[in-house]
Amino acid sequence: MSDKTRALVHKDFVIARMDPHLFGSFIEHMGRTVYTGIYEPGHPAADPAGRRLDVVDLVRELGVTCVRYPGGNYVSGHDWRDSVGPVDQRPHRLELAWRAIETHEFGLPEFMEWARLANVEPILAVNLGTAGIREAVALLEYCNFPGGTRESDLRHAHGQAEPYGVNLWCLGNEMDGSWQIGHQGAKEYGHLAAEVAKAMRQVDPTIRLASCGSSKSDMDSYPTWDLETLRYTYPYVDYLAVHQYYGGQELGTATFLAQAHDFDNHLSTLASVCDVVKAEQRSEKTLMLSIDEWGVWNFWNGTIPDTAEPWAVAPALSEQIYSLQDALLFGSMMLAMARHSDRVRLACQSLLTNISACIMTEPGGTVWVQPIFYPFAHLAAFSGAQVLRTPVCGPTYDTGAGFGMPVVDFLAVHHEQKRCVAVFAINRSADDQLLEVKLDGFGDLSIGSCTTMTAPDALSTNRDDHSMVRPLLLDATALSTEGLSVTLPGLSWTTVTLGYA
C-alpha cells in the first residue's frame, strides 16, 4: 500500500454552502434527449402526456434541482413561437445546429409541465444568435407577465392563465464559438447581451441573468473573451455562464484524471476575471459563476456510432457510454465546483438523457443509469450543506505537465439539519490507498454509511450489465478517537457519512 493521505476536517472551517442550483442538468433538442428520452408517447411507462415516468423517477433519485432548456446550440436557431400553441399547428422546421427535423411536438408548455412533474426549477435560454431584444422580451412577457398584453394573453389563449414565473435566464449560448449560429465577437456580444438584459429587467426586475462566457478553457480567446464581454454586461447580470468538457480518455487513466487540475484552475481564473471587472467598474457586486454545461465528452472507445442520416427526426447521435474512469473525472469536477461554492452558484450537468448523460433510455424499453449518475446523486443528497476547507496531505503522481497530481481527491461537507458530516474521496491510483481524517468540533460521531464505487477495470461500463459499476457497501472503515480511517479501493469513488447527536 502507498503512503497514506491525511485530511483535517473542522466544523468551523467553512468555505460556503453548496447552493441547491449546483445540482442542475440540461435538456436540449439534440438527438434523443427529448424524444424517446424524457418524452415518448405510447411507452409503457409514459403518462397520458407522453412523459416517461421511469425517467422522472430517476431524475428525482439523482437529486436534480433545476434544468436548462431548450439549448445549447439549438437555441441559436430557435423561434420560441414555434414551440407554443396547439401541437397540431406547430411547424416542422430544419434544425441547423444538429441537422435534424424539429417537429415541436414537445415545446415550451410541455417542458414547463415536465419540470413541475419532476419537481425541478426551469432555466430558459434566449436566442441571441438569430434573434435579439424583441424576441427575448416577448418570450419573457409570455412566460412571466400576468395578462392584458399580446404575449401574456397569448399564453392565456394557450390554456395557461397563471404566469410560469421563470426566474433564471441565459443570454444566448456559446456565442464565442465559431460553430454557433450567429457567432459574435466579444464586443458585439457584450453590447447585445447588455441591451437584452436591460430590456428584460424592464419587464421583470426580479429575474436572474447569465451572460455567456468562454465555451472551453483551451479556446484561443480564453479568458480575454470573458473579460471583454463582462465590461458591457457586468452591471446587468448575476452570473458569468461557463462551459467545460473533457475528453482524452485515450491518453491513459492517470493523464485523463489529471484534467481535474485544469478545471480547478479554470474556475479560479474566471472568478478572478469577474473581479477584475468589478474593480474596474468600482462595483460593489460580486459576480457569480454558472457552469451551465459541464461534463465528460467521450468520443472514443465505447461511444455508440452515429448512424442516422441528416434531416431525420430525433436521430441517435453522441450517445456516449461512460466508464469507471469517466465517472471519477466527473466526480472530481463535482468536488471542484463544491470547493468553489463561494463563487459557483449554479451548474447544469450536460445532458440529462442519452447524450453525455446520467440516464439512458431504450426506445419502447428499459431505462438505466451510467456510472456518472452516482457521484452526482451522492453529492446532491447534501445540497445546502456547508463545504469545509480541509487541509490534505498525501502522495502525488507525476503528470508530465510540471505539477504533481494528488492521488486522493477529497471533500468534506457539514449538514446541520441532518446533523451529519459527509466525506467524499476519489482514489486516482490503481492501488488501494489509506485515508485518515481527523474530525474536530462535532462532538461524538458515529459512522452512518460507507459505500464505494469501483469495477474490475477502469474502462468498465454499464452498457451491457447495467449494474456493473455501482456503489457497494465498504467494510474497510474504522472510527476512533483519532478520527476516521478508510481504505479506498483502487480507482474508486467513496462516500462516508458520520452522524452526531
Instruction: Return the active site residues.
Output: 174, 293
Residue 32 carries which side chain, given as an amino acid letter?
A: R
- The phi and psi torsions of 158 (rounded to 5 degrees) equal -85, 5
3-state helix, strand, coil in the chain (%, to 5): 30, 30, 45
* Omega prior to 70 cis, within 30 of 0: yes
Beta strand residue intervals within 156-297, DSSP E: 168-171, 208-212, 239-246, 288-296
- The phi and psi torsions of 385 (rounded to 5 degrees) equal -75, 160
Treating both helix axes as pointing N-terminal to C-terminal, what angle do 133-144 and 186-203 enclose, rounded to 10 degrees?
30
Treating both helix axes as pointing N-terminal to C-terminal, what angle do 108-118 and 53-62 enclose, rounded to 10 degrees?
60
**What's the CA gap between 322 and 327, in Å, rounded?**
7
**What's the CA gap between 101 and 413, in Å, rounded?**
46
**What's the CA gap between 78 and 98, in Å, rounded?**
12
Name beta bridge partners: 198: none
Give the helix ranges, DSSP H, for 90-179. Answer: 108-118, 133-144, 150-157
291 touches 23 (CB < 8 A): no
Identify the H or E element spanning 147: none
**What's the CA gap between 27 and 67, in Å, rounded?**
7
Residue from 285, 346, 354 nearest 314 by CA? 354
Treating both helix axes as pointing N-terminal to C-terminal, what angle do 133-144 and 150-157 enclose, rounded to 10 degrees?
50
Q: How many CB atoms within 10 Å of residue 202?
A: 10
Residues 6 or more apart whose Cβ sits within 8 Å of residue 74: 28, 29, 30, 95, 97, 98
Residue from 130, 159, 127 nearest 140 by CA? 127
**What's the CA gap between 99 and 76, in Å, rounded?**
13
